[in-house]
Structure 1
């Protein structure tokens, strides 16, 4: 199913459309999308230009591909929902902050940006839990956050 933002415009006439998962060259970037577990289709995305890399998990459960997606990323944006009921599910669809830190460590990421917090969760506690297993900088997603990327 294809949807548009405007009822009279097919976005394929304005943009190049790339099917995900997959790997593509988009301007100066290598864009890679990998299928990750969630209750609806979810593709984690990695953008890389030269040695600078940014990776984003979207909503996901634990999966070994998380280490590949975030490999050596300058910023790894990871779901840290910390939804207690999720831990009881046999097929997990969300991560905890500790798991976010674990996968960032496995990936060798330089910085971890925690996102997708469950309403009411303590974000500082989530950051502390991520830091317990990740030695790099842990950042909490917030509105208007600006994170400079290095010029390798």
Structure 2
């Protein structure tokens, strides 16, 4: 029998996958590690921070003493975003900029300006914006993030390669 693949996910993540493959025994395929939590993954320490969204969401941080990067996943505003991205070389933050989102009482998504603000609070070196609402102007999103973040702002695009530099 082959070793199971490690799967790091919020509670209930495997059940969501099981909905796609209801006849498969996913526990025979995946070695599930629930987040939040701390785990050793190769040369990295992986940690997770619970963040607000309409389904369970965990922002993820990878670090090894030389480099650190973090990714929010879909999230609404939360003070923990600054801790997640603290002193990273690269902070990948969703920037949906959905026009209907700011009017809602419970926020599930960020604006580009908020992404920049949280990156500035975190002291990250570089911010990569991702998870754009369809049809949004990505250059405008980057400009909005730059209004609150003074570092380099990147846009997530297919096949982008971002070298990580020691912190």
| Global fold match (TM > 0.5) | yes
- Which residue of the partner structure matches residue 77 of structure 1? 92
1:110-149 Cα offsets, whole Å, 9 max, x none, are: 0000000001111000000101110110001111111000
1:53-105 Cα offsets, whole Å, 9 max, x none, are: 11000000000000000001111000100011100001100000000000000
- Aligned with 1:19 (options 31, 34, 39): 34
| Distance change in 2, residues 1:93/1:8 (3 Å) | closer
Return the alpha-carbon distance in structure 2 between the equivalents of residues 7 and 85 of structure 1. Answer: 34
* Counterpart check, 1:134 vs 2:117: no
Return the alpha-carbon distance in structure 1 between the equivalents of residues 23 and 99 of structure 2. Answer: 44
- Which residue of the partner structure matches residue 102 of structure 1? 117
SS in structure 1 opposite 2:142?
A: helix
| Unpaired runs of at least 5, structure 2 | 1-14
Return the alpha-carbon distance in structure 1 between the equivalents of residues 145 and 28 of structure 2. Answer: 43
* Counterpart check, 1:91 vs 2:114: no
- Which residue of the partner structure matches residue 41 of structure 1? 56
* Counterpart check, 1:125 vs 2:140: yes
Moved over 2 A (4+): 1-17
| Distance change in 2, residues 1:12/1:50 (3 Å) | farther
Q: What is the CA distance between 1:24 and its match in structure 2?
A: 1.2
| Unpaired runs of at least 5, structure 1 | none
SS in structure 2 opposite 1:125?
A: helix
RMSD: 1.8
The question of whether the paired residues in 1 share the 8 Å contact of 2:89 and 2:166 is answered with no
Q: What is the CA distance between 1:10 and its match in structure 2?
A: 4.4
How many residue pairs get aligned? The number is 152
